[in-house]
């Protein structure tokens, strides 16, 4: 939060010509999602996935809940993944710092995050293939390596503003 106030706000005000501090985009929350598609054949995997998700990144995603199917190819209401609550305030800033400084550098052959994963409304989703990049997760207790999505929800009106915000907060975008 300190870096945001002291460095990011002035940089974005100058870059986009904002006249008021309240116009500067900010990071609202970070949400973790874990897909468990193989749980369709084995519903017990959902319970294990939710338990593993609860231990991920210092519980940054809050208390996870099973995600239920809404697709016509699956029986509606069938659990297919785990979604954590959005982390906000101090937890959000701590998670972002740990992600950028500790976890992403641990990704094999890491060359930066995709600059194209914005949704058109100023939100960014980062996909990870392995949840074990987080130092909080004990590799010996991981039953199956699973991927996860991390969504950064911002107040930015455009993807350009959101990208500039995240880049100034330390997100290592590929050039």
Q: What is the pLDDT of residue 12?
A: 96
3-class DSSP state of 155: coil
Domains of the chain (ranges plus CATH)? 2-12+26-168 (3.30.1440.10)
3-class DSSP state of 151: strand
Q: What is the pLDDT of residue 60?
A: 46
CA 143 to chain centre: 22
Q: What is the pLDDT of residue 131?
A: 62
Q: What is the pLDDT of residue 71?
A: 56
Q: What is the pLDDT of residue 53?
A: 43
What is the full per-residue pLDDT of the chain (175 aa) written as tens digits? 788 999 999 999 999 999 999 999 999 999 888 765 554 445 554 444 444 444 445 444 445 455 454 554 555 555 555 556 567 888 899 989 988 888 888 788 888 999 999 999 999 999 887 766 666 666 566 566 677 888 999 999 999 999 999 999 999 998 8
Non-local CB neighbours of 142 within 8 Å, separated by 6+ positions: 52, 131, 132
Handedness of CA 64, 65, 70, 71 (dihedral sign): positive
Helices (H) and strands (E) in the chain, counts: 5, 5
User: Is this structure's pTM higher than 0.85?
Assistant: no
């Amino acid at each position: 939060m300190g870096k945001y106030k002291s460095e990011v706000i002035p940089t974005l005000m100058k870059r986009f010509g904002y006249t008021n501090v309240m116009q500067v985009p900010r990071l609202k929350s970070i949400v973790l999602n874990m897909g468990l598609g193989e749980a369709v054949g084995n519903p017990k995997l959902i319970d294990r996935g939710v338990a593993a998700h609860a231990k991920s990144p210092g519980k940054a995603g809050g208390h996870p809940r099973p995600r239920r199917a809404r697709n016509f190819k699956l029986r509606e209401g069938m659990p297919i993944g785990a979604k954590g609550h959005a982390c906000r305030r101090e937890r959000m800033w701590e998670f972002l710092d740990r992600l950028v400084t500790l976890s992403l550098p641990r990704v094999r052959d890491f060359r930066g995050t995709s600059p194209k994963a914005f949704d058109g409304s100023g939100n960014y989703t980062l996909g990870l293939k392995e949840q074990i990049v987080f130092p909080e997760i004990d590799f010996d207790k991981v039953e199956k390596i699973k991927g996860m999505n991390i969504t950064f929800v911002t107040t930015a009106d455009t993807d350009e503003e959101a990208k500039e915000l995240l880049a100034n907060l330390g997100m290592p975008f590929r050039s």
